[in-house]
Amino acid sequence: MDFAKDYRMTIDGEAVPAGATFDVVNPATGEVFAQAPAATSADLDRAVAAAAAAQKSWRAVPLEERKALLIKAAEAIEAHADELGELFMREQGRPLAMAREEVKGGAGWLRATAKLDIPVEVTEDSKRRRVEVHHEPLGVVCAIVPWNFPFLLATWKIGPALMTGNTVVLKPSPFTPLTTLKLGEILLDVFPKGVLNVITGGDELGPLMTSHPGFQKISFTGSTATGRRVMESAAKDLKRITLELGGNDAAIVLPDVDVDEVAMQLFMGAFWNTAQICVATKRLYIHEDIYDALRDKLHQIAQTIPVGDGATEGSVIGPVQNGPQFRRVQELIEDSRKNGYAVLEGGAVPNSGYFIPLTLVDNPPDDSRVVVEEAFGPILPLLRFSTIDEAIERANNSEYGLAGAVWSKDIEKATEVAHRLETGTVWINQNLQSTPFTPLAGHKQSGFGVENGLHGLMEFTVPKAIFIPKTA
Ligand code: NAD
């Protein structure tokens, strides 16, 4: 594959060449390495019209056939996993093996989604009548995805939307458009024309999409700030929305853990994918009895873990994905230094692109920016606590409520803590886990609606009750 050129949008069953284009940067070098097509509003109109036309027949395709096509899509992705993984690494920055894992994970997600079923509920079955509740497709789905998991999160939307009989216009982030464009091209041979459309563009394209009257549903993953704008835009014609938004996840470490055993897992729960994960640990509450020992261990890991270009053998952590995010994390480090917090810097990083040393902040105040804001990059505040009640209260003191974690040898006690955390997911002695069968639902300002599992599937449907008399 020539990584520099030849990217096309997928509209109405055709690979559409670019008119205007925009730059795509390799975050490990900071250099432009490719051009992506910039959709015009006419391209958007065409994609929406194609999706609307296709939806009429797609919804009538039997469910088992739609599921079979999802599996065929998974096979097509797997057949291209190596080249897609390499392209992913170049545009997103993640080390190659892990980039390929995301591509394969996306295929696996489509397969798993095909195992779900659309239930028909019977709310009454009496002598007089039978009342059935069916779940019907909504129509054309606007799917908008961020840059941190560009491939996997696209499949989280495509799978359930298509399986339930909707058609899709998918837009990746302008920072990571390429793998998604290739996905569209690969799936041209799988789905009927117009069922899956992929368009790319700059900052103006998202708002054009969310205000487009041709969509019946918006499935959005991104920041809370953008989520608010999406909700406002959707209000005009009452589009259905699912918003998977930001998080500032707390992990609480109780004093009975084995520090050496848990340190690496805790570290990776915060820094994997260069800490650019909605459900990464972003505030680490450590009991005072083990605080110093765990802090020192985490600092040692930060100084030794290989950070580098994803193309370099042995790199475990890559660069920050883009310029604005790079500057934002630098600003938080600066703010911590300026306020006199103890900043514990990680090991050396390449002097190119968007690399930042993996940084810990030693017990900053609860109202510091690094604690209150979602950093979404390699800076993690460590926070000392004395009692469990205090830790839970501080963890819950956030406008976000995406996920959280509890670490302890006492599973019963950890489970009690889990029940008291105000988040949509809680992990005990693990982190970053999600499955296609488990709902991911942000509490508070982390989300609106649900993705994944049966709950997530239902978000692409509308219930229809049919009252059927037993006698004519
Ligand atoms: P972002 O909100 O800047 O952008 C997300 C997507 O929205 C991009 O495709 C962007 O082009 C588009 N967009 C931008 N402005 C828009 C507008 N006004 N209307 C419609 N679309 C618009 O987010 P980001 O920086 O790409 O991603 C990072 C954020 O995503 C973090 O806050 C992270 O926590 C969150 N996230 C959440 C989840 C989850 O499942 N809850 C998963 C991954 C990332």
Tell me what the mean pLDDT of segment 321-326 comes to.
98
The answer to whether residues 273 and 186 belong to one domain is: no
Is residue 4, in this structure, part of any structural domain at all?
A: no
Q: What is the CATH number of the domain that holds 369?
A: 3.40.309.10
pLDDT of residue 4: 66
Is residue 374, in this structure, part of any structural domain at all?
A: yes
223 C-alpha to ligand 1 centroid (Å): 4
C-alpha 376 chain-centroid distance? 12
The two three-digit tokens of residue 122, written as one number: 């019977």
**Ligand 1: which atom is nearest the Cα of residue 451?**
40
pLDDT digits (tens, 9 = 90+) for 296-305: 999 999 999 9
- Identity (one letter) of the amino acid at 27? P
CB atoms within 10 A of CB 261: 11
- Cβ pair 51, 140 in contact under 8 A: yes
| pLDDT band, residue 472 (cuts 50/70/90) | confident
pLDDT digits (tens, 9 = 90+) for 233-289: 999 999 999 999 999 999 999 999 999 999 999 999 999 999 999 999 999 999 999
Is residue 184, in this structure, part of any structural domain at all?
A: yes
Tell me what the mean pLDDT of segment 449-464 comes to.
98
pLDDT digits (tens, 9 = 90+) for 121-180: 999 999 999 999 999 999 999 999 999 999 999 999 999 999 999 999 999 999 999 999
Nearest protein Cα to ligand 1, atom 43:
278
| Spatial separation of the C-alpha atoms in residues 84 and 9, rounded to whole Å | 16
The answer to whether residues 320 and 231 belong to one domain is: no
Within 6 Å (CB) of ligand 1, which residues are found?
A: 144-149, 171, 173-174, 206-207, 210, 221-223, 226, 229-230, 244-247, 278, 374, 376, 402, 440, 442, 447
Is residue 440, in this structure, part of any structural domain at all?
A: no
Is residue 354, in this structure, part of any structural domain at all?
A: yes
The answer to whether residues 117 and 104 belong to one domain is: yes
pLDDT digits (tens, 9 = 90+) for 51-64: 999 999 999 999 99
Top pLDDT among 2 and 434 is at 434
Can you give the residue range of the structural domain that contains 174?
Answer: 9-245+446-467
The answer to whether residues 140 and 212 belong to one domain is: yes
- The mean predicted confidence, pLDDT, of the chain is 97
The answer to whether residues 278 and 352 belong to one domain is: yes
| Spatial separation of the C-alpha atoms in residues 407 and 252, rounded to whole Å | 6
Is residue 2, in this structure, part of any structural domain at all?
A: no
User: Tokens 């229809």 sit at which residue?
Assistant: 464
Of 144, 198, 320, the one to substitute when testing ligand 1's pocket (max ligand atoms within 8 A of C-beta) is 144
Of 153, 204, 274, 278, the one to substitute when testing ligand 1's pocket (max ligand atoms within 8 A of C-beta) is 278
- Cβ pair 263, 402 in contact under 8 A: no
Of 221, 328, 450, the one to substitute when testing ligand 1's pocket (max ligand atoms within 8 A of C-beta) is 221
- Cβ pair 360, 380 in contact under 8 A: yes
**Ligand 1: which atom is nearest the Cα of residue 203?**
11
Top pLDDT among 50 and 472 is at 50
| pLDDT band, residue 290 (cuts 50/70/90) | very high
Which one of the listed residues 102, 244, 451, 459 is annotated catalytic?
244
In the Cβ-directed half-sphere of 155, how many Cα atoms lie within 13 Å?
26
The answer to whether residues 324 and 277 belong to one domain is: yes
The answer to whether residues 128 and 34 belong to one domain is: yes
Is residue 304, in this structure, part of any structural domain at all?
A: yes
Q: What is the CATH number of the domain that holds 22?
A: 3.40.605.10
402 C-alpha to ligand 1 centroid (Å): 15
The answer to whether residues 313 and 453 belong to one domain is: no
172 C-alpha to ligand 1 centroid (Å): 10
The answer to whether residues 255 and 300 belong to one domain is: yes
pLDDT of residue 370: 98
Is residue 420, in this structure, part of any structural domain at all?
A: yes
Q: 236 by DSSP, 3-state: which?
A: coil
pLDDT of residue 6: 85
Is the pLDDT assigned to residue 1 strictly greater than 80?
no
Q: Which residues are CB-neighbours of 299 under 8 A, at least 6 positions away?
A: 344, 346, 360
> Is 390 part of the annotated catalytic residue set?
no
Q: Please report the sign of the dihedral spanned by the C-alpha atoms of residue 349, residue 367, residue 227, residue 157.
A: positive
439 C-alpha to ligand 1 centroid (Å): 19
Going by DSSP bridges, is the β-strand pair 281-287/379-385 parallel, antiparallel, or unpaired? parallel
- pTM strictly above 0.85: yes
The answer to whether residues 229 and 270 belong to one domain is: no
pLDDT digits (tens, 9 = 90+) for 188-215: 999 999 999 999 999 999 999 999 999 9
291 C-alpha to ligand 1 centroid (Å): 34
Is the pLDDT assigned to residue 25 strictly greater than 90?
yes
| Spatial separation of the C-alpha atoms in residues 19 and 33, rounded to whole Å | 18
| Spatial separation of the C-alpha atoms in residues 50 and 73, rounded to whole Å | 20
pLDDT of residue 76: 98
Nearest protein Cα to ligand 1, atom 40:
244
**Ligand 1: which atom is nearest the Cα of residue 227?**
2
Q: Please report the sign of the dihedral spanned by the C-alpha atoms of residue 49, residue 221, residue 234, residue 225.
A: negative
Per-residue three-class SS string for 260-306: HHHHHHHHHHHHHHHHCCCCCEEEEEEECCCHHHHHHHHHHHHHHCC
- Cβ pair 263, 303 in contact under 8 A: no
Is the pLDDT assigned to residue 364 strictly greater than 80?
yes
Tell me what the mean pLDDT of segment 351-374 comes to.
98
The answer to whether residues 22 and 59 belong to one domain is: yes
The answer to whether residues 345 and 384 belong to one domain is: yes
| Spatial separation of the C-alpha atoms in residues 319 and 148, rounded to whole Å | 12
pLDDT digits (tens, 9 = 90+) for 80-130: 999 999 999 999 999 999 999 999 999 999 999 999 999 999 999 999 999
pLDDT of residue 409: 98
- Report CA Rg, the chain: 23
The total of structural domains in the chain comes to: 2
